[in-house]
Structure 1
Amino acid sequence: MRLYRLVLITLCIQPLAALAIDLQPNDIVAPLPGKNHAMISYLNTDNSTYYLNGSIPPNTLKYKSLQNPNISTQSAILRVSTSYTLSSLPAISYVQLPYGTIKPAGSLNQFPTITGASIGSDTGIGDTTFATAIWPYADREAKKYFGIAGYFTVPTGSYNSQRLTNMGENRYKSDIQMGYQQPIVENLDGMIAVDTMWFGGNGSCQASCLSTTPTTLNQKPLTTTQVGPIYKINQTYTVGASYFYVAGGATTVGNEYKNNVINTQRFLLSGLAYYPFGRISLQYGRDMEIKNGFVETRRLALRFTTEF
């Protein structure tokens, strides 16, 4: 019975790191070439109530460890970018490195792993992401933009196969994203972006896969659509709202398919302030509906971007 409860915990913790590429307002606007920027972000998320196939499990012994769960993640993220022209098209590249803490709490910490250790928390460096975006279409006068971005994440983060939670995922990830933005009425733009994320295998999945020896974790592609308005209040302040629909991402441990499809709807509200010394942005969001996993009750991001 204890083993079954841990299976449920494992299947939900794994997808927490496999999220979409969230965009800020005007991220789809093509940058001017020859600019270098540094962005420092603080990201805080909380996940609580567990859903199984769209419902909260009954309060029985089998689901006791999931009656009052909490998973808190805090990260500081450094991103350095440079913009340029590629075959006469606007382009930008960046490298991003996070450092943070993931901490399970509540009923999740009341049950030991199969090795007898607590689930525990992890603090350390996360996985490094490299990205490049190019704009095949950028009409600055009409303010219409279509961009394509590619992301590649390498497993540089803290990872221990004996821990259930880790800052790093011990696997490679890649993502292709397309986005379009144009004016709707004066000072109001609309944007839409779609991305699909692919996952490499984690060949050293042990505690989080409930195995006494290393096994392989594989995950199906994860597709996200985000859409929403962007309103420019004045030259200093801009606000935006985004709706996200996330689908896919079921996992396989060894040869066993887990049927834990991620099917989530969420929202994200954004506010940006442009000052001579840099840009400050604040984003807040949460899940609206989830099929499998721990519902995200808060996503808070504070960012500062400056040119150098």
Structure 2
Amino acid sequence: MRLSRLILLLLALIGPALAWAIDLQPNDIVAPLPNKNYLTLSYLNAENSTLYRNGTASPSNPVIDTQLALLRGTHSYSIGALPAVSYLQLPYGTIKPGGSLANYSSDTGIGDLSFATAIWPYANRATRTYLGIAGYLISPTGSYSSQRAFNLGENRFRTDLQIGFQTPITKSVDGMIAVDTMWFGGNSQCAATCGLASNGSLTQKPLTTTQLGPIYRINEIFTVGASYFYVAGGAISINNSYQNNVVNTQRFLLSGQAHTPIGRFSLQYGRDMEIKNGYAQTRLLILRLAKEF
């Protein structure tokens, strides 16, 4: 039963996107020009392994492989004199447990649909200084079964509010910082993931993430960046029973971009550096192509 209860960390502490925060790419905080349309196709490959419980590693050898294709449509516009942008994003992929979790079923299908809108109260292109605010809604549209411990969908609504700031450090280097908090709706059909024989209630405290780092513009084509993340909060309760599993995670993400006639190619690689509760992420690889149309 103890191992089954630990499985609940997967649903609420990693999820199929393998990121609690709204991870930003280099220059995501830069306000877009109005009346532009973009289509972005992304491929995500991730692996999570050792399970930690209050800083102590489990002796078992779990492996969780996730592969996702994400399709995003984006439109930029103006609200009065302020730049704004909205997008819809839909994932499709597979989450597959292995190692000591090999007896658990995998899941293939559609993930949870995301909608986001951002607005820039301050955007100064001359000084390369931007302040943006974004809101996100993630709806429970993805594949989910209460009898399956590993699901692409979470069967609950999630909302997130993020504020980001970017400004020059040198002629070619900008600094960015963003903070977001995610709130979770309840899941009243949590059985296998919660280690229960029948459906129970899963609730989760808000989760706050801070991300910061430099962005280096090499030339007109290439840009690179590095981000440090600190994630805190997100403790879970099952049937109003507190599970004492506060998230306290540090991780990094390296990014590279190339602006080409085909579109903007992005490559990101990251992993966890320190984790208190949940499955440690040992690999996160994301490849994107964004095309204006």
Task: Bin the TM-score by the shorter chain.
Answer: over 0.9
Select between 120-129 and 15-24 the one with higher mean Cα deviation.
15-24
Report deviation, 1:55: 2.1
SS of 1:5 mapped into structure 2: helix
In the alignment, which residue of structure 2 is the partner of 1:8?
6
Matched, 1:103 2:96: yes
Q: What are the within-5 Å matches in structure 2 for residues 199-214 of structure 1?
A: 199-214=184-199
Partner in structure 2 of residue 193 of structure 1: 178
- Aligned-partner Cα distance in 1 for 2:189–2:258: 44
Residue 150 of structure 2, aligned match among 136, 161, 165: 165
* 1:81 corresponds to 2:100: no
Alignment partners' CA distance in 2, 1:161 and 1:134: 37
Counterpart of 1:63 in structure 2 is none
- 1:232-271 matches, within 5 Å, as 232-271=217-256
Task: Report what 1:20 is aligned to.
Answer: 21
Q: Counterpart of 1:14 in 2: which secondary structure? A: helix
1:6-47 deviation line (CA, Å, top 9, x unaligned):
112223453112611000000000000010000000001101
Q: CA deviation at 1:156?
A: 0.5
Give the secondary-structure state (helix, strand or coil) at the position aligned to 1:185. coil
Give the partner amino acid of 2:42. S
Letter in 2 for 1:198: W
Q: Does 1:125 align with 2:125?
A: no
The residue aligned with 1:178 is 163
Structure 1 residue aligned with 2:55: 54
Q: Deviations over 1:222-265 (max 9, x none)?
A: 00000000000000000000000000011111121101111000
CA contact (8 A) 1:12 1:292 kept: no
Tell me if the contact between 2:7 and 2:194 (Cα under 8 Å) persists in the aligned partners: no
TM-score by length of 1: 0.92
Q: TM-score, normalised by structure 2?
A: 0.97
Contact 2:166 2:175 (8 Å CA) reproduced: yes
How far residue 143 of structure 1 moved from its aligned partner, in angstroms, is: 0.6
Aligned-residue CA RMSD in angstroms? 1.0
Unaligned regions of 5+ residues in structure 1, if any? 60-66, 110-117
Secondary structure in structure 1 of the residue aligned to 2:150: coil
Which one has the largest radius of gyration?
Answer: 1
Say which SS state the counterpart of residue 2 (structure 2) adopts: helix
Matches within 5 A, 1:214-233: 214-233=199-218
1:274 match: 259
Which whole-Å CA distance do the structure 1 matches of 2:33 and 2:81 have between them? Answer: 12
* Distance in 2, Cα, partners of 1:247 & 1:192: 16
- 1: distance between equivalents of 2:9 and 2:243? 8
Cα separation, 2, equivalents of 1:39 and 1:208: 32
**Counterpart contact for 2:11–2:154, Cα < 8 Å:** no
> 4+ residue runs of structure 1 moved beyond 3 angstroms?
none
* SS of aligned partner of 1:108: coil
Matched, 1:140 2:125: yes
Are 2:291 and 1:291 equivalent residues in the alignment? Answer: no
Alignment gaps of 5+ in structure 2: none
Q: After superposition, what is the alpha-carbon deviation per residue over 1:68-87, rounded to whole angstroms, capped at 9, x for unaligned?
A: 11011110000000000002
Identity of aligned residues (%): 63
1:13–1:198 CA distance, 2 compared to 1 (3 A): closer
Distance 1:231 1:11 in 2: 36
Tell me, yes or no, if structure 1 residue 34 matches structure 2 residue 32: no
**How many residues are treated as equivalent by the alignment?**
290
